[in-house]
Amino acid sequence: MDTLIGIIKHELCHYHLHINGYGHQHRDKDFKILLKKVGGLRYAPTLKASYKNIYVCQNCGKKYYRQRKINTSKYVCSHCHGKLKLIE
């Protein structure tokens, strides 16, 4: 929840400075000062990637992580051109 509040503060700083005619971009000094005063986040946090499907090459064992299913009869391993098999 703190992350969401920090992001909202960050965006409101952009809005406030833009409306009042000050520098509202990330590199502007006015933006950095106001962001520090209100306690907003300077950068958005990275989100964890969630992979639903894991494919493995049957020849070399290279793993491919995908969010969507792929057609294994159409796609092959990029290293050895072996067949891919869905393991998860």
Catalytic residue numbers, as ranges? 11
User: What's the Cα-to-Cα distance from 13 to each of 4, 38, 46, 83, rounded to whole Å?
Assistant: 14, 9, 21, 52
Q: Tokens 């299913």 — which residue?
A: 69
> Residue 9: in which H helix or E strand, if any?
helix 2-19
